[in-house]
Every structure is written in structure tokens, then in C-alpha cells.
Chain A
């Protein structure tokens, strides 16, 4: 389970918005080929951790190592060139641009040949056939689930090694959420994509993930395999039985 160098290693990372400290020394490791889930309540700092990997906000102290290289101070726009992609919270697709253009935006930043681009596009269409049907439509006219598919598809267009997903099931009907989770599992198994997934839907996320971290108030309080965490009574009490999805 532990590879010599993890794909992404976060060491005692601290980040703050002004005086409010959101991350108080976080350690997370993600190995190549893994799905890692990060669960926790609202305001625990999950999204902040994801944003800090992209340098917004900048880390106050600590290190972010990607393939052993320190990327803590790399400018935000260069992170994507390292083949780390992000599907941000709230999807953030480009509403007035077409689905095609949204996807092309993902490919624009990375240097790839037309053939590579077309191959990736076909892969995205295989995963999310809806996007092919909606190809010429404006992004803003898609349903919530389709927008989430588009956000993930757009991230995939940069052919990432590491995919960061922030709340992919937020506001989606359970059936659609399951489709999204299935696609993530397929990507991991067939394409060997490494995934860090932030979720409130702990049940789904932990079933999907190889390993999980539980975050409370800017600190990692629990870590373990997905199955282990699902069995822990405190997890069941805090996130599963009292939660939205039993």
C-alpha cells in the first residue's frame, strides 16, 4: 500500500484566510493509482486543502510535494501544467460557452497534439455520453448532473495524473450521483487515474475510496482504509447514521 514516494504528499500544511486559520497542520499522502477520500463536516477545511494545493490561498507553512518535488510556491496557473486537474466546488463551468468549448478549455492549457486531444475527448464521451449529446449546447443550459459531468470532463481534458474532485455529488439526485461515482471508479481502474475526492456524502465516498481521511476543524483526526473508516463507530455516528444518507 505504501509506495516509496507518494504521488502527492502534504506535510504539516497550514493555511489561513486573514486571521482565521483553516488548516492547522495537515498531513495527507496520496499514492499513485489510489482513490483517497477526504470527509468532514462543513467548514472543516476540506475545500481549503484542495484550494491550497492549487496555491489559492497560499500555504502559510508546510510543504506540498508532487512526485517528490516541492510545489508549495508554484503559481496557480502552472499547477495544471504538472498534470494535476481540479473539478472545483460548485462545478464552475463556463455557462455562456458551449459544452465543446468548455471541454476545449481543459485541453488548451496543456500542450497536447490534436490526436491526443481527440482521443481524450472520445474517452470523456465514453464516460459521459450525455456530453456528446449536448456538445453544441451552452454550458449554462445543462442540468446539474450534466454540469458536474462537464466539470469532470473538462478536468480530464488536460490528461491529468492526479484529479482533485470537490463535492462532485453536491446537489445531485442519488441516481446521478451514483453515475458520477461509477465514472470515477472506472477512471481509476481502467485509466489508472489517481483521485482525491472531497465529499460530504461520506458513505459513498468511503465505499469508493481505497483510503480515507477525516478532517475536523482544520486537522486530520482519523485515517485508514475506506472499509475501516466505514466500520468506526464515531464515523458512523457523526457522518453516516445522523447524516443525510443513512
Chain B
């Protein structure tokens, strides 16, 4: 990329090839559509065939195919899997690398400011809370699927365990959210280990089937254990979270009264927003820290090659169990948050569709990439809302978008994996070491 000639010479042939393929596509479209669109036939008054030409429509269709194939090809060459030759102009490439460096901090700052910017738009705040919940679930599942490579189709089970832990402890014993939150995490982690034991020997498809069944078992137990869980009626009247003991309501003890400001229902929403943001960031921070520790490296090595792991002295049993437990714990935290936000939980909230959605977020985001998962959660949940007007076609659009992303970005939106080990000191390599060996 240093020599200027590469900029001028190579794209020229690329553009010719581009136009050529677009021209061929347009020609095929012309042949196909000339009869299908170009000539319109109808039965006339006396049953005879009448026809007339529609060259205008034909021309516009062919033009769309021509332009579209150029756009698609450019799109593929710019952001697609690394091809032999890239047409990306340097300006665009620089822009993209700039974007890559500052996207995460910019997103974080924007997220912190969301309640300030959209203070009066309840809908957007609710949507943001929902997105953040899925970001957290995605990051939690990312530990299991993205790092340890254990395909878990029953992640919603831990979400449910967390939600019911908080719901039941709070309604039966009146325990506060801040006591129940770690308990919900611990209980979910316990169930994670419980799931982990039977699946230790399983891999790939078999593992997926068992975890899928586990998710269903938890849901069915919740439905049928009516004495404890209320069955299909769910648990209602779950207490709202308090600001470390100070309730966020209209009473005289409320936070608004104590601060001497006017009460608004939005205060609670904003508090919930920052609560889930803090929980999600905690998940992210813990994951990033763990990746740099031997246990995190062991998870990733386990994903790559289990046999090699054992030969290197890694206890694969504890490694898998800790991955399940850690992922489940974050699912449990998210579940407790879900319960306190909704105030009501029922088994309907914990169907397989939730597991599939969270898994889709992780896969779409790029397995193991924290930023990718966050972007995918935003795209999936936000996009879902965006296409609400399309109603029946929503799932169709969605499915198509996912297929396209998997074609162009098979490793997910962000397939890049940041290394975790660096040389302690940049030592100069003496030349006698380097000159040997050309294999």
C-alpha cells in the first residue's frame, strides 16, 4: 500500500471488472424482464389477446439491477471478507479505522447521555433499557459461547432462575434488591454448574440439544411447581428497586422528597437505565479481566482444541464448569433486573425464543467480541422496533438481514479478536537470529 502505483493500477482493472459484471447482470435482467415486464398481455373484450409494451418500467428495472449489482459488489469489497483486491479508497479506509478506534468510547459516552438527551421520551428510554438488558445477556452468554465455545441453547434458564430468585425472595421475605441481586447471581451460577456436569463430555450438536432441553425443563418446572412459583400466573407485586434503601416513589420518604425536587415517574426509569448500564458494564469489565487471566485463556484454548488443552495440563472439567457458572451468573443478574423492572414475571417471558435471540446476538456480533455483541444487540432489538411498522414482513426483513450478514461477515459484525498477551519488553531481534530459516 506504500507504492502509489498500486492505488492507480489495481482499482482500474477492478472497476472494469465491476462494470463488466454489472453489465452482464443487467443484460440477464433485460432478457428475463423483457417478456415478464416489457410486454403486458391481457384478454381483450372478445377474448382475443391484447398486449402493449412497457419499455419505461423495463428500463428502470434493468437500471436498478445494473446499479444494484455495482453497489452490492462495492459493498462486498469494502466490508466483506478480505478478498484478493480491495477497491476501498484510502479516505474510506482511514475513516473506518478511525471509527474502529473511537466507536466503543463514543458509544459509551452516548449511552451515558441517553437519559439526558431523551429525558422526555419514555418510549426511547424503555427501549434503551431493553437493549441494555440484551447487551448484558449477550455479554454473559458470550463467556460460554464466544470464549469457551460451548454452544448453549438454554441460556434463558439462568435468566429465569435469576428473575424468580429475586421475585420469590422479595415477595416472600421482603428482602431488598441489593441483597437479592448477588443471591440471584449465585443461584443461577449454581444451576449453571448443575447443567455443566451432565454435559461435560458433550460437544457441538449434542451439547446444544441438552442445553436446549435444560432451558425447557426449567420453564416447565416453573409452570408446574405452582405452590412455589405460582405456575402460569407468575409472580406479581415484585418490589421496585430502591436507591440504596430510599424508595423512588411519591411518598415523603421518597428520593424526590428527600432531594427536595418535584417527583416524576421518569426518575425511576432513569434509575433503572443506569442500573442495567452498570450491571452490563460490570459484565463487560469482568469478562475483559478474565480474558487476561489463565482461566480466560483456558476458556479460549478450550474452544480451539480440547485435546491440546488436556495435554497442557488444563483441567477441562473445572474450566467448562467455571465458564457455565460465570455465564449463568450474569444471566441471573440480568434476570433479577428484569424482575424488578417488570414487577411481574411469568413463564411466558422465558421461552426458547429468548435463548435463540440472545444466541443470535452473540453469533451476529462476532463470537467473543464485546463491542460486536453490543452492536448486534442494538441492531437486533432496536431494529426489531424500527421495523414494527412492517408488521407481518418484520420477521422476513429480519431473517433476510441476518442471512446477508452471515454471507458477508461470516465471523460476525466484528470478527477481530484482540490478543491478550504481549511481549513484556520490546527487545530488538539480533540479525543473526533472523537471517536463518525461510520456511
Q: Which A residues are within 8 Å of any B CB, using their own CB?
A: 54, 56, 75-81, 85-86, 88, 92-98, 100-101, 103-106, 108-110, 114, 118, 125-126, 129-130, 132-133, 135-136, 138, 143, 145-146, 154, 158, 172-173, 175-176, 179
A70 → chain B closest CB, angstroms: 19
Contact B311 A54 (CB under 8 A): yes
Q: When each residue 419-439 of chain B gets 1 if its CB lies under 8 Å from chain A and 0 otherwise, what string results?
A: 111111000010001101101
Chain B residues within 8 Å of A80, by CB: 311-313
Chain A residues within 8 Å of B420, by CB: 101
Supposing A80-B313, A88-B308, A100-B422 touch, asked if A94 and B300 sit within 8 A by C-beta, the answer is: yes
Name the residue in B311, B316, B433, B436 with the highest tally of chain A Cβ atoms < 10 Å from its Cβ: B311
Contact A101 B297 (CB under 8 A): yes
Residues of chain B in range 400-420 having any CB-CB distance to chain A below 8 Å:
417, 419-420
Within 8 Å of chain A (Cβ to Cβ): is B305? Answer: yes
Chain B residues within 8 Å of A96, by CB: 300, 303-304, 417
Residues of chain B in range 212-248 having any CB-CB distance to chain A below 8 Å:
none
Q: Compute how far the CA of A138 lies from the CA of B314 in the bound complex, rounded to whole angstroms.
A: 21
Within 8 Å of chain A (Cβ to Cβ): is B307? Answer: yes
Within 8 Å of chain A (Cβ to Cβ): is B301? Answer: yes
Within 8 Å of chain A (Cβ to Cβ): is B20? Answer: no
Contact A94 B301 (CB under 8 A): yes
Q: Compute how far the CA of A179 lies from the CA of B307 in the bound complex, rounded to whole angstroms.
A: 26
Q: Compute how far the CA of A85 lies from the CA of B436 in the bound complex, rounded to whole angstroms.
A: 27
Contact A81 B433 (CB under 8 A): no
Nearest 9 interchain pairs by C-beta: A80-B313, A109-B313, A94-B304, A92-B308, A145-B439, A129-B433, A176-B439, A100-B421, A98-B419
Name the residue in A56, A86, A158 with the highest tally of chain B Cβ atoms < 10 Å from its Cβ: A86
Chain B residue nearest in CB terms to A136: B419
Interface residue range, chain B: 20 to 34
Per a CB cutoff under 8 Å, which of A78, A97, A101, A132 touches B313? A78
B363 → chain A closest CB, angstroms: 15
Contact B423 A135 (CB under 8 A): yes
B303 → chain A closest CB, angstroms: 8
Within 8 Å of chain A (Cβ to Cβ): is B204? Answer: no
Supposing A129-B436, A133-B429 touch, asked if A158 and B313 sit within 8 A by C-beta, the answer is: yes
Contact B311 A110 (CB under 8 A): no
Q: A94-B300, A132-B429 are in contact. List 10 more A-B contacts (CB 8 A).
A: A76-B310, A93-B305, A94-B301, A101-B300, A104-B421, A105-B298, A118-B424, A130-B439, A135-B423, A136-B422
B332 → chain A closest CB, angstroms: 28
Please name 6 pairs of A and B residues whose Cβ atoms are closer than 8 Å in the assembled complex, sorted by A. Answer: A80-B311, A97-B419, A108-B294, A118-B424, A130-B439, A136-B419
Contact B312 A106 (CB under 8 A): yes
Chain B residues within 8 Å of A77, by CB: 310, 313-316
Q: Compute how far the CA of A132 lies from the CA of B434 in the bound complex, rounded to whole angstroms.
A: 9
Chain A residues within 8 Å of B316, by CB: 77
B139 → chain A closest CB, angstroms: 19
Q: Compute how far the CA of A110 lies from the CA of B429 in the bound complex, rounded to whole angstroms.
A: 27
Contact A93 B424 (CB under 8 A): no
Q: Compute how far the CA of A93 lies from the CA of B439 in the bound complex, rounded to whole angstroms.
A: 18
A119 → chain B closest CB, angstroms: 12
Contact A100 B429 (CB under 8 A): no
Per a CB cutoff under 8 Å, which of A109, A118, A126 touches B433? A126
Chain A residues within 8 Å of B422, by CB: 100, 136
Q: Compute how far the CA of A176 lies from the CA of B298 in the bound complex, rounded to whole angstroms.
A: 30
Supposing A92-B305, A133-B434, A136-B419 touch, asked if A108 and B297 sit within 8 A by C-beta, the answer is: yes
Contact A105 B419 (CB under 8 A): no
